[in-house]
């Protein structure tokens, strides 16, 4: 059974919602899914999974949100060779760097040997129907990548 680890970082709940949508979709696809909040998660938890997913918001106060910084730094030290990853998250087009944090996390996954299985999914604030469709497709692409 394909194991999926979803780590989310959320203040107002949008990224938690994104994580929930993905959890449901991966379960539908027959995966063993584990979801946890970034502050409660060790980056080594990804070692036990086939698919690694990060869902995070973006704040303009740094490269990734301040509360995600420890996880971001620790992630650089892991070796995730052979694993498939995807990043997604909520942002707001009002700000210049829309959804920047999901691309910053993607860069780290690339550096530590994980393989991108799907393009990052950007969500404007809370997920609407189109976003749910995009997230479902994202999960399907990540699954397909593990099987290729």
Distance between start and end Cα atoms, the chain: 15
Q: Does 59 bind ligand FMN (CB under 6 A)?
A: yes
Among 7, 46, 87, 91, binds ligand FMN (CB under 6 A): 91
Q: Which stretch binds ligand FMN (CB under 6 A): 30-38, 76-84, 90-98, 132-140?
A: 90-98
Q: Does 87 bind ligand FMN (CB under 6 A)?
A: no
* Coil vs helix vs strand at 55: strand
Nearest-angstrom CA–CA distance, 139 and 117: 9
Q: Which stretch binds ligand FMN (CB under 6 A): 10-18, 30-38, 69-77, 131-139?
A: 10-18
Nearer of residues 42 and 95 to ligand FMN, judged by Cβ: 95
Query: Among all chains, which residue has been given the structure tokens 């918001």?
Result: 57
Q: Which stretch binds ligand FMN (CB under 6 A): 22-30, 73-81, 97-105, 138-146?
A: 97-105
Cβ-count burial 56-84 (b if 16+ within 10 Å, e if not): bbbbeeeebbebbeebbeebeebebeebb
Among 41, 43, 90, 134, binds ligand FMN (CB under 6 A): 90
Q: Does 95 bind ligand FMN (CB under 6 A)?
A: yes
Nearest-angstrom CA–CA distance, 36 and 50: 16
Q: Does 11 bind ligand FMN (CB under 6 A)?
A: yes
Q: Does 58 bind ligand FMN (CB under 6 A)?
A: yes
DSSP bridge partners of 84: 51, 115
Nearer of residues 10 and 83 to ligand FMN, judged by Cβ: 10
Nearest-angstrom CA–CA distance, 135 and 121: 7
């Amino acid at each position: 059974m394909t194991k999926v680890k979803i780590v989310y970082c959320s203040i107002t709940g949008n990224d938690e919602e994104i994580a929930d949508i993905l959890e449901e979709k991966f379960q539908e696809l027959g995966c063993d899914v584990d979801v946890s909040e970034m502050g409660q998660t060790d980056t080594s938890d990804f070692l036990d999974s086939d698919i690694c997913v990060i869902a995070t918001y973006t704040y303009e106060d740094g490269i990734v949100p301040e509360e995600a910084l420890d996880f971001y730094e620790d992630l650089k030290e892991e070796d995730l060779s052979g694993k498939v990853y995807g990043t997604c998250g909520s942002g707001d087009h009002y700000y210049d760097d829309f959804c920047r944090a999901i691309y910053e996390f993607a860069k780290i996954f690339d550096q530590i040997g994980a393989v991108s299985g799907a393009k990052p999914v950007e969500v404007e604030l809370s997920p609407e129907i189109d976003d749910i469709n995009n997230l479902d497709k994202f999960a399907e692409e990540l699954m397909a990548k593990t099987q290729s």
